[in-house]
Amino acid sequence: MSESGTEIDLSVIICTYNRSGNLPAVIQKLEEQVGVEGIAWEIVVVDNNSSDDTAEVVARLAGESPLCVFYVFEPEQGLNHARNRGVQEAKGRYVAFVDDDILVDENWLRWFYRSLVDHDADATGGRIHLDKDIALPRWITRDMYGFLGYQDFGDEPFRMDGKTKYPFGGNMAFNKRIFEKVGMFNVRVGRKGEGKKRGELFKGAETELFRRMAEYPESVIVYEPNAIVYHQVLSRQITKRYFITIHYNAGYQKATNDTHTYGRRFHGVPLFLFAHTVRSIWRYLWQCATCGRDDAFRQLMTVGNFVGQLRGYWHKSGAADGWVAEG
């Protein structure tokens, strides 16, 4: 905990929208941190234009907590808008992000701080485990846990490349110098609102930042297995509709952000994508017939991604260029 006038080592940033009921538990877990003697730290709660009583709840928690808790209001809707505002307001040399549905382990902060300092890291990320009390349906297989925010690369720390391996947004921390080098979070991508509507539910708001970091070979991104958090999965996040939506949106976003020029297109859509989509649909139908719908669902998610790409390219072109032949 920091005192007035003390230089801050690390700022914990909590970006929140209409989840005031979650905040007491999130703050309580931060109050239970151990091994943080000698670390000056603060909590910055960024209210992303909530319509509930978030401001009142944070004011109450700030008055009751032994920690330094600050409230910041960010009117521009979007997770990355909130993240950027948090970085701007944070007094710490380092910033660590906690989602408003994340509960941290009691050793979380000291291990994150140690990882950043010992490795002189630009960024570090830890394990994200799912709330052990949540009952997952059988069609959610282990390889699908990542879509619920799960991340675990094992027991040993290592340097991540920022492309194939990078921290997830629910458990990541940075040296603020990296934002001066590569820029802030991209506000054109990522979740907006509560993520209940298709147009709000975009994942991977941090992925683009890590890819920018990876363009600099000297960037140091470290996996710290001892920094553990627990994602409190919502009931609506374990529905088939949720999984299909995030894959459709990922495909749509991939297409709209694609800067490559393709020679053969129809209504803005690269011709090869039609073939990929048809093959993907055929595989899904075959798996349904041979294995059943639940076992085929992973393939249906792939279909959703391709359909999202089709819609994204079509929308980006305005469906106005029609057939375009090569050369």
Residue 251 inside a domain? The answer is no
229 and 303 share one domain: no
The pLDDT, as a whole number, for residue 150 is: 93
40 and 160 share one domain: yes
275, with CB counted inside 10 A (0-12, 13-18, 19+), is exposed
60 and 169 share one domain: yes
**Pick from 238, 273, 298: which residue ends a domain?**
238
223 and 312 share one domain: no
CATH classification of the domain holding 137: 3.90.550.10
The pLDDT, as a whole number, for residue 134 is: 85
Residue 267 inside a domain? The answer is yes
311 and 172 share one domain: no
Domain count, the chain: 2
198 and 299 share one domain: no
Residue 206 in this model has a pLDDT that exceeds 90: no
300 and 181 share one domain: no
Residue 80 inside a domain? The answer is yes
96 and 127 share one domain: yes
87 and 216 share one domain: yes
Please name which of 129, 126, 230, 205 lies closest in space to residue 171, comparing C-alpha atoms.
126
Residue 255 inside a domain? The answer is no
Please name which of 248, 245, 224, 221 lies closest in space to residue 166, comparing C-alpha atoms.
221
Residue 114 inside a domain? The answer is yes
53 and 152 share one domain: yes
Q: What is the pLDDT of residues 267-320, one digit of tens each?
A: 889 999 999 999 999 999 999 999 999 999 999 999 999 999 999 999 888 753
The pLDDT, as a whole number, for residue 200 is: 42
Contact 214, 112 (CB under 8 A): no
Residue 210 in this model has a pLDDT that exceeds 80: yes
Q: What is the pLDDT of residues 179-196, one digit of tens each?
A: 999 999 988 775 554 444
Residue 129 inside a domain? The answer is yes
219 and 305 share one domain: no
| Residue 104: domain span | 10-238
Residue 277 inside a domain? The answer is yes
Residue 42 in this model has a pLDDT that exceeds 90: yes
100 and 233 share one domain: yes
Residue 95 inside a domain? The answer is yes
